[in-house]
Amino acid sequence: MEDYAISVHGLSKRYSLGQKKPSHGAKGMLLGISELFGRTPQDDHSTIWALKNVSFEVRKGERLGFVGKNGAGKSTLLKILSRVAYPTDGEARIRGRVTSLLEVGTGFLNHLTGRQNIYLNASFHGLSKKETEQRIPDIIEFSELERFIDTPIKFYSSGMRARLAFSVAAHLDPDILLLDEVLSVGDMAFAQKCLERVEELTRGERTILFVSHSMDAVRRFCTRCIWLDCGQVVMDGPAREVTDAFTSDSMNLRAHQKWVADLAYKPGTQEDSLTAGLPEPPHARLVAASLLTKDWRHSATVCVSDEINLEVTYDILYDGAYVLPVFRLYNDQGVLIFTIVHHKALPRTYKRNRGRYRSIATIPNHLLAVGKHNVSIGLNTPSSGKLIRHDVIEHALTFYVHEAPLGEPSASGSYVSIKGAVRPLCSWVDEKIEVHSSESD
Amino acid sequence: MATINTASPKQAEIIIRPPTQSRLLDVGELFRYRGLLWSMSRRQVKAEFGDLHLGIFWVLARPLLMTAIFVFFKNVSNANTGVSVPYAAYLYSGLILWFFFAESVGRAAASIGKDGALMQKVYFPRLLSPLSGILAQLSGLAIAAVPLFLIMIYYGLTPGWNLLLLPVVLLQTMLLAFGTGCLFAALSTLSRDWERLLGLLLYVGLFVSPVIFAPEMLPKAAQGIQMLNPMSGTLLGFRAALFADYALPLYEWLYSLAFSGVLGLVGVLAFQRAERTFMDRI
């Protein structure tokens, strides 16, 4: 007997693209009848498959994330599993009580007060009035809406509705929790609280299905991840691997680049280099660049807690050239964060002869902020006052730094995210320096 | 964290399949969700009689006023209505059943429009929406029944063993309202004109059904035609349950019952189809 919580087999969903408006007139009325009792429309140009033959199984207690572009079918899938949309084909089996939180304001009625809506929502999930009453103080406290709880929710802001919706869902104690972009609603402080609550919920035996555009959130909460594209499963595996693959694909990340294919030197340069003075620059050119993880793998996604190795391969064209590679790191806003140079290479000791060289610079861990980064690479000769540029390639490498998985040290601590171009992990000391009288009571 | 024993929707395994492969009517599921049906109905009753302080007045005003007007007309015109029991009792009982029916149909027909937004967010058996609308109308009927008892006492009318028929007739009325309501709920998602048609039917129905007159008033040929109206047998059955010396027109009522059964199935089918296409539209 398989111990699955959710089993999805060959699930497909077709939507009609042409939006049917209610038609008028006697003809519209008759069309209505034929539409109700007639056959369903067949596959043609006006239909789209939001999901096509999706199969997977979720074990009890597994935390499965879904990633993919907009319209990849993630939300459709959760809708079908929440039974607010029907599949066109295939089958899904669910074992256990399901609570889903899809978009904002899940199942609220505008004319009811916040409190009445809590009862209503709880009753949809099979909680009796008594059971709901036991939870109400916790729900209201969590939502931070004490003052407005007896106000009809038509007067609520969308943020307030989201808070209430999350608070109810988070206190229903389901076996299976379906979450769709919940963490993108409300203000930062509340989003933080939601994250903590999800974390709390994940500690139990709960099975969680989580759709998010935040790779960090998926990496943080999910053990496993499915990448959907055009309604089909592209990849299914450990959360880290799948999110990395998806990030590289969707952000056009580049962990490796090569510019010069052949190893041949330019003819005729040798005699020139024998002379005391070097010829006009360039004296060197770039060959290739790579981004390597600490175990020397090419990777375009790295974790904040990992060191990053930037490798550059270049040819020095003349003997005795003083050529230094330089890396410049830019963030996604195009801001230059820092420049890396070889700090020990002095002109007198660092003249090198013709040949192919490789330099590796290691960026310490816990330095870069979470996000996309660009690396520009140059070959320079710094000489008194002026800089000779031999070769420069902008945006040579593009990589993404993601948040550390749950449990590993991270400079953001318990925050969802922290601002800044860099985020070093600084040491921190807290001390109690005074005892207030109120505490001695 | 406290574990909870869920009241109703507990199920070993939920199987999600395309509409074409799933059961048309899952009675077991409806039963499991009875707690929700109850709370949905109660909410509507509360909205009607709790918030509006004059709720009870409005429920009584319509049948009482109409009874007063038609009794007055009958008395001044000395019209022959063909009624064998005191006219006020016959008329009032007919009016409250008709209004119960019409309101129930109206609520059920409006259910997709009313709960549509909810249906797109939360799962519950969709039929609970029209069902709760009809159940909630029972409260109005119960309130309207109080003057009926007073009228019956005034005229010395007593129900006999036939009172046992009352729940049966009421269930049949609700089934008819459910079928009609579901059918029109489905149709009105496709064309607004169906809503208008329903309004017209319910308005005209009041005057062509044996509410203000008895079938005996009509010529023989017209009597046959008018019995095609499923509400005819229903209304006569209702009177037969209430008044001891009013005979039950068995065949007419059985026709109404059969009609209600068929319409109930058609209504469920149409409702399910409409709900599925409606869900995909947004």
Nearest to A95 among B13, B189, B194 (CB): B13
Check residue B10 and give its pLDDT: 53
Mutate to test the interface with B, among A2, A13, A35 (most CBs of B within 10 A): A35
Q: Is the pLDDT of residue A274 over 60?
A: no
Give the residue from A196, A216, A250 where a domain finishes. A250
Query: With an 8 Å Cβ cutoff, is A255 touching chain B?
Result: no
Residue located via tokens 């953001």? A412
Q: What's the mean per-residue pLDDT of chain A? A: 82
**Distance between CA atoms of residues A155 and A177, nearest Å:** 28
Q: Is B279 in Cβ contact with A85 (below 8 Å)?
A: yes
Q: Is the pLDDT of residue A42 over 80?
A: no
- The domain that contains A42 carries what CATH number? 3.40.50.300
What range does the domain containing A272 cover? 256-402
Q: Is B6 in Cβ contact with A23 (below 8 Å)?
A: no
A72 and A92 share one domain:
yes
Q: Is A126 in Cβ contact with B36 (below 8 Å)?
A: yes
The pLDDT tens digits for A138-170 are 888 888 888 888 988 888 887 788 888 888 888
As a whole number, mean pLDDT of residues A112-136 equals 84
Check residue B1 and give its pLDDT: 31
Within a domain: residue A416?
A: no
**Distance between CA atoms of residues B282 and B279, nearest Å:** 6
Query: With an 8 Å Cβ cutoff, is A131 touching chain B?
Result: yes
Of the pLDDT bands very low, low, confident and very high (cuts 50, 70, 90), residue A326 is very high
A175 and A229 share one domain:
yes
Residues from chain B contacting residue A93 (CB–CB below 8 Å):
13-16
As a whole number, mean pLDDT of residues A220-245 equals 89
- Identify the segments of chain B with pLDDT beneath 70: 1-11, 51-53, 281-282
Check residue A35 and give its pLDDT: 67
H/E segment holding residue B254: helix B250-281
For A119, the closest chain B residue by CA position comes to B39
Q: Is the pLDDT of residue A266 over 70?
A: no
Sheet containing A386-402: give its strands across: A301-303, A386-402, A371-383, A324-331, A336-341
Check residue A226 and give its pLDDT: 94
Q: Is A40 in Cβ contact with B118 (below 8 Å)?
A: no
Query: With an 8 Å Cβ cutoff, is A440 touching chain B?
Result: no
Within a domain: residue A310?
A: yes
Which residues in B146-162 are b (16+ Cβ under 10 Å) and which e?
Answer: eebeebbeeeebebeeb
**Bond prior to B159 in cis (omega within 30° of 0):** no
Within a domain: residue A438?
A: no
| Residue A409 CB-half CA count within 13 A | 11
Burial of A21 by CB count in 10 Å (0-12 exposed, 13-18 middle, 19+ buried)? Answer: exposed
**Distance between CA atoms of residues A44 and A47, nearest Å:** 6
- Give chain A's domain count: 2
A246 and A269 share one domain:
no
Check residue A18 and give its pLDDT: 61
The answer to whether A331 and A366 are in contact (CB under 8 A) is no
Q: Is B119 in Cβ contact with A84 (below 8 Å)?
A: yes
Check residue A439 and give its pLDDT: 53
Residue located via tokens 């039917």? B201
Query: With an 8 Å Cβ cutoff, is B197 touching chain A?
Result: yes
**Distance between CA atoms of residues A11 and A93, nearest Å:** 11
Q: Which residue from A229, A274, A219 is spatially nearest to A401, judged by alpha carbons? A: A219
Within a domain: residue A409?
A: no
Check residue B79 and give its pLDDT: 77
A261 and A241 share one domain:
no
Q: Is the pLDDT of residue A180 over 60?
A: yes
In chain B, residues 107-146 whose CB comes closer than 8 Å to chain A: 118-124
Residues from chain B contacting residue A36 (CB–CB below 8 Å):
186-187, 190, 270, 273-274
Query: With an 8 Å Cβ cutoff, is A282 touching chain B?
Result: no
Q: What's the mean per-residue pLDDT of chain B? A: 86
Within a domain: residue A343?
A: yes
With left for phi above 0 and alpha for psi between -120 and 50, is residue A119 left, alpha or beta?
alpha
Q: Is B280 in Cβ contact with A15 (below 8 Å)?
A: yes
Query: Nearest CA to CA, how far is B224 from chain A (Å)?
Result: 29
Query: Between A and B, how many residue pairs show a Cβ–Cβ distance under 8 A?
Result: 135
A186 and A48 share one domain:
yes
Of the pLDDT bands very low, low, confident and very high (cuts 50, 70, 90), residue A185 is low
Query: With an 8 Å Cβ cutoff, is A204 touching chain B?
Result: yes
Residues from chain B contacting residue A109 (CB–CB below 8 Å):
118
> Which of A196-205, A218-227, A264-273, B197-206 is predicted with the least confidence, judged by mean pLDDT?
A264-273
Query: With an 8 Å Cβ cutoff, is A107 touching chain B?
Result: yes
Check residue A199 and give its pLDDT: 75
A343 and A286 share one domain:
yes
Mutate to test the interface with B, among A54, A94, A104, A125 (most CBs of B within 10 A): A125
Mutate to test the interface with A, among B114, B124, B190, B281 (most CBs of A within 10 A): B190
A285 and A197 share one domain:
no
Of the pLDDT bands very low, low, confident and very high (cuts 50, 70, 90), residue A267 is very low
DSSP 8-state code for residue B217: G
Query: Nearest CA to CA, how far is A232 from chain B (Å)?
Result: 18
Name which residue leads in pLDDT, A279 or A169. A169
Query: With an 8 Å Cβ cutoff, is A46 touching chain B?
Result: no
Percent of chain A predicted with pLDDT > 90: 22
Within a domain: residue A427?
A: no
Residues from chain B contacting residue A106 (CB–CB below 8 Å):
121-122
As a whole number, mean pLDDT of residues A379-401 equals 86
A231 and A296 share one domain:
no
Of the pLDDT bands very low, low, confident and very high (cuts 50, 70, 90), residue A103 is low
SS3 A172: coil
Residues from chain B contacting residue A33 (CB–CB below 8 Å):
187
- The domain that contains A328 carries what CATH number? 2.70.50.60
In chain B, residues 38-77 whose CB comes closer than 8 Å to chain A: 39-40, 43
A140 and A268 share one domain:
no
Q: Is the pLDDT of residue A17 over 80?
A: no
Of the pLDDT bands very low, low, confident and very high (cuts 50, 70, 90), residue A359 is very high
Q: What is the pTM of this model?
A: 0.74
User: What residue type is B82 in one-letter code?
Assistant: G
Of the pLDDT bands very low, low, confident and very high (cuts 50, 70, 90), residue A216 is confident
A275 and A135 share one domain:
no
Q: Is A19 in Cβ contact with B16 (below 8 Å)?
A: no
Token duo for residue B21:
């492969």
State the ipTM, two decimals. Answer: 0.80
SS3 B105: helix
Check residue A271 and give its pLDDT: 45
Token duo for residue A340:
């890396």
Q: Is A128 in Cβ contact with B7 (below 8 Å)?
A: yes
Q: What is the four-CA torsion angle of A142, A144, A148, A153, rounded to 10 degrees?
A: -60
A266 and A341 share one domain:
yes
Nearest to B121 among A26, A33, A102 (CB): A102
Within a domain: residue A17?
A: yes
A106 and A172 share one domain:
yes
Query: Nearest CA to CA, how far is A123 from chain B (Å)?
Result: 6
Query: Nearest CA to CA, how far is A412 from chain B (Å)?
Result: 29
Q: Is A37 in Cβ contact with B192 (below 8 Å)?
A: no
Within a domain: residue A295?
A: yes
Check residue A288 and give its pLDDT: 92
